[in-house]
Amino acid sequence: MFRVIRLLCALISGMIFCGMQALGSEEIPILLYHHINDVPANASRPMHRWSLSPEKFEAQMDWVFRHRFHPITMQQLIGHLKHAQALPPKPIVLSFDDGLKDHYSVVFPILKKRGFVATFFIITDSVGHSAFMDWEKILEMSGAGMDIEAHTVTHPNLADVSHEQARFEIFQSKSVLEKHLNKTVIVLAYPYGKYTQDVIAITKSAGYEGAVTLSGLNGGYLFRADQSYTLQRFAIEGQDNLDCVAHIKGFD
């Protein structure tokens, strides 16, 4: 039966999942979302790929609720990982990259309605510009229990910039966020999921307790104590069905 479901899911999503291992119960799924909005039919392929409609997103959050998952923040996950803090049963992390306007206008109300928390990774130099949330909205979300963490200053590929530039991006984004939010920022999301050993070393020296990368859906995710600076996330794409993803990855 499981084989049939897997095949069906692969067909539906257009992706090849066969051969993936189901994960153990100690591993906690970290989902990654980008745009939650309707894109026009003539939008670019990347825009279609990284945009999930509000209806689909809400249906996915209903799925999370129905399956009795308890969304937790990255702060909670790191607290558990590094300081043995207790977590609710069936934890799951919902994370959103780039600090987009629709994270406030669409995602925030859908999460609030269900009592869910999530983590939002902010590019500090983008705050307030065109497609991005301003500080007022970010502060409101932070005040409502949402976890706000760092996604660098200008969103470069950290594996591709000088040591000095990487240092600036990693240190500065943390301090700008902390100044605005009056709270400690402990997690960094590497832009494009790219990092090097030097980037990890800088991240640690800046005082972050963990960092997230990303993986395609075929890359899976892992969650172990020694991987706190390379925590992988499932990128949910526009065509994805969470039910299928969960079956394949074995976290439902």
Which parts of this chain interact with Zn ion (CB under 5 A)?
97-98, 191
The C-alpha atoms of residue 232 and residue 242 are separated, in whole angstroms, by 17
CB of 86 to Zn ion, least distance (A): 31
State the CB neighbour count (10 A cutoff) for residue 127.
Answer: 18
Q: What DSSP element (H or E) covers 47? A: helix 45-49
Tell me which amino acid residue 81 is: L
The burial of 67, by beta-carbon neighbours within 10 Å (0-12 exposed, 13-18 middle, 19 or more buried), is given as: middle
Query: What is the sign, positive or negative, of the torsion defined by CA atoms of 80, 252, 221, 47?
Result: negative
State the CB neighbour count (10 A cutoff) for residue 138.
Answer: 23
Q: How many residues does the chain have?
A: 252
Computed on alpha carbons and rounded to an integer, the radius of gyration of the chain in Å comes to: 17
Q: Is the Cβ of residue 97 or residue 209 nearer to Zn ion in the bound state?
A: 97
The C-alpha atoms of residue 229 and residue 250 are separated, in whole angstroms, by 23
Query: Nearest residue by C-beta to Zn ion?
Result: 97
Q: Is the Cβ of residue 235 or residue 246 nearer to Zn ion in the bound state?
A: 235
What is residue 96's three-state secondary structure? strand
Paired residues of 211 in beta bridges: 188
Q: Kindly state the tokens that stand for 219.
A: 């890359």
Angle at 69 between CA 108 and CA 91, to 5 degrees: 90
